[in-house]
Chains A and B, each alone.
Chain A
């Protein structure tokens, strides 16, 4: 029939009710066995692209479709989603919302059951899929009790069991912590290498995915702006606001390395082959500014466990001692389940410690109700949808102001100022439904900021966001911190944490295992590894080159550029 797995012919799609097309002028073919990365900023049409391949467009999402998509020669207009499902294995971003049964084995069997595969064959496939995704022995586990990485691996196993001809993964790593990312990535690699099926993967995490893929497509505003073999796309350079290559690639280009390196080891090798490397003088990491001596957060010997009465319960928090002074910018790190969320919930009285004392702004949290402390302590949750209660941006902020009995005369200036702070002033009259995830996150932040909190506590604000939006949120937090607000942020994004925060607190199994300058944490490779903290590729490079005097705590492109510049200049 057709030599291609997927063929897009002049495809354009506009969602019902939308003005601008979500996809336009898409023409491309994907050959069997190809491994393809699609990247681009949020809203560039990547998910719409994926939905076209498995027939959700036009069969589930309504809208105007022009052109054709052929999957193995079948026109998706005439196929059912269920029929295409036997050809196209889809993995979406949020593993939790894809799990539909009560046990891992049922979950994996669900697809083949739908396809009417005989029972013995299903049992064989379940065993095979669990083995190749390293989930053996998980058969009877409840999918929702698994860690994020295990859940996503389970989803992949479920898709694998259907034996599709091609796999489409829409940001499979976005909602995972570094440990989960590593686990899922391993599964994806094995899957891609073993079976010789095509794999289309949509991701922002370029550093992790680039080494796997043959071909890269960059999308923007519904169109394909770049398409070609990986190394070609890399060497064609950046597209501002659309495509930013990983820092190591950019450094490689700057120092004329060919081919462009994707990882630190490769970079170091090529660099030493090309330049005689000298040595620069040692530097000490920047000290934390001791700040004022004004304690605003104080946890003394705090212990806590969920479900006290059940035997064999481990403590969620075990003898925590943390003091944070006014004006600090602290990153709270650690693997999922280490107790980070439990700890910040103690700080606003959502949970009460079993023993120990929590003092916030000189108030004993044992006797201060949450709604009272909320005036001074702003708290942003991971999912902005849980926080937003209004249909309109302005109403949303007013709602918070009303709850705290702010004088209505101040409303307009407060709304204006807080929206301006998060760069959303032009959305002041927008409907919440029309906002993207990054914008909702910033709106949630704005409604907290409108109350002028002294302390801001933020729980993983960058999950599932593209790198530019993530950096933007940290940029906002930094400005806020400079104006005097104390900031405590939970994040898995070590690179951003190291760039913006000054102090890091690392939790592991309910205890504090590190408390000090972020940059010192970067040099503690052992501890980083034990806590599944993901060392930035740039820092990895810096530590590889520490023999040449490059400090192992460098993180940003500029810092490394400067250091390597000195090195290469000194050597030649």
Chain B
């Protein structure tokens, strides 16, 4: 059940780790921005298609299957409880008693919510399946690098402009209320967008301290071993004659403690071994000046992929701006009224 990196050469595998982190971030925002269930469904299936190219279909499905039940429950909640006053009533879920009315709005929302959750979770899965943990950590870790003012400035400006577009699409009414001339209005919005842009650029230049990055990498590398160790210990205790799942509750607690002690000790011992091992290989030599063999490089594919994501984002917002973000629902209303 654990989501581990799988080797491969698919499109997703080739993308930079940072792109995939952004994919996750943008997918999350998209899930909020896009209201229409059909668009959300299309987004989900696009992600799923990319996933199928990247990892074994069986593996992908196995992990998603469990979530279907959970997300279905979520969407049922929407169907049942989203019943605004002026909603278009369809039928009662429990007909005789006239309990639990189901509305068009509820149904549409339910479907959208289902795909919404799935898209976000799938984006995380895709990121973890196709990115070696080392690279993921590297993308988050602070590195010593030569600072280039022009590049930093260009990046800040780019993010700033993006924010300005988003702002004018989302809060167009409030912006118009600013007591300024239109040209000045734009400049004020742009300048205030540059502040979060600078903060983002600053954070992405900092990243985690390298010690913490290393701890994360070690964690990724040892998760498998620790679970193997726990299995061995459970086996050893079974072989000693403990009924590992007795019916008696008190016995069960006793057995659990019997398992926990050796698991805890073995983990402790293992972490000590590892700390010795990394020290002996020069971990504390000069961690700030550490080299990283793996290099993160944005390729053309990354730029194209990211631009597509940003376009999707802007497209979704434009739809909302013109009030047609929910076109399926509106189409249904029109059809009903006819």
Q: Which residues of A come within 8 Å of B, CB atoms?
A: 54, 56, 60, 80-83, 85-86, 88, 90, 92, 94, 96-103, 105-106, 109-119, 122-123, 126, 140, 144, 158-159, 162, 345, 348, 350, 369-371, 374-375, 379, 381, 383, 385-390, 399-400, 403-404, 447-448, 451
Contact = CB atoms under 8 A, between A and B. Distances in A.
B291 A118 contact: yes
Contact of B276 (A56, A82, A158, A404): A56
Contact of A371 (B233, B238, B261): B238
B278 A100 contact: yes
Interface residues of B, number: 54
Given A379-B240, A403-B242, A388 B262 contact: yes
B233 to A, nearest CB: 5
B198 interface: no
A105 B132 CA distance: 13
B225 interface: yes
Contact of B282 (A60, A85, A387): A85
Contacts of B279: 56, 60, 81-82, 85
Nearest to B214: A100
Contacts of B37: none
Contact of A82 (B220, B284, B292): B284
B129 to A, nearest CB: 14
Contacts, number: 169
Interface string B1-24: 000010100000000000000000
Contact of A99 (B221, B275, B283): B221
17 contacts: A82-B286, A92-B277, A100-B218, A100-B281, A102-B134, A102-B221, A109-B293, A113-B290, A116-B290, A158-B281, A369-B243, A371-B244, A374-B241, A379-B240, A385-B265, A386-B229, A386-B233
Contacts of B262: 385-389
A451 B291 contact: no
B19 to A, nearest CB: 20
Interface string B287-319: 101111111000000000000000000000000
B284 A81 contact: yes
B285 interface: yes
Contact of A122 (B229, B276, B287, B291): B291
B282 A86 contact: yes
Contacts of A140: 7
B280 A116 contact: no
Given A82-B286, A114-B287, A400-B241, A345 B293 contact: no
B286 A383 contact: no
Contacts of B269: 385
Given A116-B286, A371-B238, A381-B239, 18 more contacts: A85-B285, A86-B282, A92-B280, A102-B220, A102-B221, A112-B291, A114-B282, A114-B283, A114-B285, A115-B282, A116-B289, A118-B291, A119-B293, A126-B293, A371-B241, A389-B237, A403-B240, A448-B240
Interface of B: 5, 7, 132-134, 217-218, 220-221, 224-225, 229, 232-233, 235-244, 258-259, 261-262, 265-266, 269-270, 273-287, 289-295
A345 to B, nearest CB: 7
B39 to A, nearest CB: 36
Given A102-B221, A381-B236, A385-B265, A110 B276 contact: no
B1 to A, nearest CB: 14
A393 to B, nearest CB: 15
Nearest to B235: A350
Contacts of A106: 134, 293-294
A383 B241 contact: no
CB-CB nearest 8 A-B residue pairs: A374-B241, A82-B285, A85-B282, A97-B273, A82-B284, A379-B239, A114-B282, A90-B280
B217 to A, nearest CB: 7
Given A113-B293, A451-B241, A386 B236 contact: yes
Nearest to B241: A374
Contacts of A56: 276, 279-280
B238 A111 contact: no
A367 to B, nearest CB: 15
Given A101-B134, A113-B293, A126-B293, A374 B280 contact: no
Contacts of B237: 387, 389
Contact of B285 (A80, A98, A105, A118): A80
Q: Give the one of B225, B278, B289 with max A CB within 10 A.
A: B278
B285 A83 contact: yes
B239 A389 contact: no
A119 B295 CA distance: 9
A422 B142 CA distance: 55
Contact of B221 (A101, A400, A447): A101
Q: Give the one of A88, A103, A113 with max B CB within 10 A.
A: A113
A383 B230 CA distance: 13
Contacts of A348: 238-239
B276 A60 contact: yes
A60 B261 CA distance: 25
Nearest to B225: A144
B212 to A, nearest CB: 15
A92 to B, nearest CB: 7
Contacts of A119: 291-293, 295
Nearest to B220: A102
Q: Give the one of B240, B259, B277, B294 with max A CB within 10 A.
A: B240
B146 to A, nearest CB: 14
Contacts of B233: 386
Contacts of B270: 97
A319 to B, nearest CB: 24
A201 to B, nearest CB: 16
A162 B282 contact: yes
B282 to A, nearest CB: 4
A453 to B, nearest CB: 10
Nearest to A382: B232
B110 to A, nearest CB: 34
A114 B281 contact: yes
A345 B235 contact: yes
A110 B282 CA distance: 9
Nearest to B224: A144
A332 B238 CA distance: 22
Contacts of B243: 369, 371
Contacts of A113: 290-293
B266 A385 contact: yes
A348 B236 CA distance: 11
Contacts of A114: 281-283, 285, 287, 290
A390 B265 CA distance: 11
A162 B281 contact: yes
B285 A115 contact: yes
